[in-house]
Structures are given as C-alpha cells and as structure tokens.
A and B are shown apart, each in its own frame.
Chain A
Amino acid sequence: MSFINYSSREINCKIVYYGPGLCGKTTNLQYIYNKTNPETKGKLISLSTETDRTLFFDFLPLSLGEIRGFKTRFHLYTVPGQVFYDASRKLILKGVDGVVFVADSQVERMEANIESMENLRVNLAEQGYDLNKIPFVIQYNKRDLPNAVGVDELRKVLNPRNVQDHQAVAPTGVGVFDTLKGVAKLVLTELKKGGQ
C-alpha cells in the first residue's frame, strides 16, 4: 500500500524480497546499501540472530528521485527465509506494493524454492493480494556456483507465467540493481494505472 503525501510531496512504496532461507535476500539489500549514495539512503536495519540469520526483517529506505515534483521513496524489506518463521513472513507482506522472489539456483535448493514460492502465494492471499496481479519479479541468484541449475530449468519450474526475471550473483552485485529497477518500475506503473 503506497503512501502519497500531497503536503510534503512524497510517494512511499514498499517492496518485499521473498525466498527460501540463505537464498541471498539480505545480501541483495546489503549490496544496494553499499553501492548507493549516502544522501539517497537511510540506515540498513537488520533484525537478525547471533548467527546473522534474519529473525524478523531487514529494512532499507531508498530515495529514487523525483517524478513530477513528487519524491519517490522505496522501503525495501526482506522476510526471514527459514520455514519456521512463517508467522513473521506474513506480517511483513502487509501493505506490500511489489515483491521480488529471490531463488537459489543450486540444484539442491530447488525443492526449497518451490516451497517458498507456494508459501508466498498463500501468504499474499491471506493478506488479500493475488500473486498473479501484484508487481512481481523473480531473481535467479547464485549463478556463479558450479551446482547452479540452468536458467531454462529454473524458468520452467518457478516462472510458468513468464514474469520479468533476472540472473544474479548478489555478493558481487550482478543483477541486483536490474532486479530492483525492474520491480520499482512495475510498482510505479501500477500506481499510474491505479490513478487513472
């Protein structure tokens, strides 16, 4: 749910990075945080366990610039990927404007990808959203690993509707900004449609 403030001329949108445990959601946010100008970003907040696993969420506010005199701000969130944190994942999807699904390309994580994608669909539906309708992009992460499944295979399993997808290596930043731009653009286009 975007927040439009006519008085301060600001538009705020919420993007959630979803995906199985250890797929690289937090790494995406860390890369974005490290590579953006200090004046366009806020603090990166990570609510994580002692072993650096996401416990509740990561949060990064980002300014993208102005559209027709309105400052556009994006709030990026990650969910905890581990299966047993499902109650927390549901909460973070509240008020979401766009979703990025980060898939782990490794062959042994295919099952986890499928399970997480299904979990996303169910949890979105609980909040009243339809995965087929909201701005949604898929990122195939860890493309550099030797055990990575071919992109065609990943597409077949995870992207039957042929939504926008990107290949990525999150720690080095490959595909990270393409993914973010992709989803941000979809969110703004959706807002434009909603305003008409």
Chain B
Amino acid sequence: MASQLVMYEEEFHRINAVCDRLTKDANAKVVFLVDKNGQLISAAGQTNNIDTTSLASLTAGNVAAMGGLAKLIGENEFPNQFHEGAKDSLYMTLVGGRVVLVVIFDNRTSLGLVRLRIKKASDELEKIFAALAARSAAPGAGSPFAEISDADIDNLFSE
C-alpha cells in the first residue's frame, strides 16, 4: 500500500515560504500545493474567496485524468498544464511526481514569468519533499495514531 504523507512543522514552514515567495515573484493571485490524492498542503495569496478543499480535490482529479490520457498515447505524464480563462488563468505543474503546484494568475503578469518562477519554486519543493520522504521513512517516525486508544476512536462517534 502507498505510504502515507506525513508533514512536519519544519518542512511545512519551508513549503509555505516557497509558496509565498512564488506568489510574489510571479505576481500571481494564488498559489496552491496539492497532494496528487487531493489533499491540500499549502495555499498562499488571495485564498479568501476560493473553496480550497474543492480546488485541491478537482486539481487531483484533473491531474489523474490527464495522467491517464498521457499513458493512453504513450506518454508517462503531462507534467505541465495551462488553462486560459477570460480573466484568470491556471497553471499546474507536477513536482517530484507526488504533488501538484497550482498557480492562478491574471493579466498583471505573463505566462512566461509564471513559468520561469514556477521552475525555480518547483526545484526547491522537490528537495523539501525528498527530505520529507526520507524523514517519514526513518525508523521511529510513527504516526500520532500509535498512542490513541480504541476508546478515543469510539468517542469520536458518540453523539
């Protein structure tokens, strides 16, 4: 079974910092980092009016569908996707085969600049996720669930 994704304080702050910086450097509206299974990892910029949970799930669905299409035509993956809207556009990049970096931007910036900045941020993120994977795989890195009891689980369901 695929191993679970575990996020620690230190890496979480580093990831958030990369997303924050990308938002500014690319002059983007919003930057999201989404796990390929649809879990939102980080969000930066003007996230107030966006349903981030839905966005994460739909991003994962879209990337999965495009990945399926890629395999049908003999490609391994489509690592980059660009969707152009009337006002806002959306750029998605696969990072390290595991997470998806989503940048939403408007005409205050350009696709060229966004792509350039994404490249740099995605290299940094790849390193952080490699470190995270190593840390989760290290012995003794159990989940917090090791300590919970059956009673804790029962309590969650008692109304």
Chain A residues within 8 Å of B, Cβ to Cβ = 1-8, 11-12, 14, 42-43, 45, 47, 56-57, 59, 61, 64-68, 70, 72, 75, 87-88, 90-92, 94-95, 127-129, 133-134, 181, 184-185, 188-189, 191-192, 194-196
Contacts and interface: CB of A to CB of B under 8 A. Distances in A.
Contact of B4 (A3, A45, A56, A184): A3
B70 interface: no
Contacts of B89: none
A57 B61 contact: yes
A137 to B, nearest CB: 14
A127 to B, nearest CB: 8
B148 A68 contact: yes
Counting from the closest, the 6 A-B pairs by CB-CB distance are: A95-B37, A195-B146, A195-B143, A7-B12, A195-B145, A91-B64
B54 to A, nearest CB: 5
B37 A87 contact: no
Contact of A192 (B9, B13, B64, B145): B145
Given A6-B6, A7-B7, A67-B156, A45 B144 contact: no
Interface residues of B, number: 40
Interface string B129-152: 000000000000011111110101
B64 A191 contact: no
B interface, over-half SS: helix
Contacts of B68: 87-88, 90-91
A3 B64 contact: no
Contact of B38 (A14, A67, A134, A195): A14
B18 to A, nearest CB: 15
A138 B2 CA distance: 23
B38 A42 contact: no
Most buried by B among A75, A189, A192: A192
B57 A59 contact: yes
Nearest to A42: B53
A192 B157 CA distance: 16
Given A5-B7, A95-B38, A192 B146 contact: yes
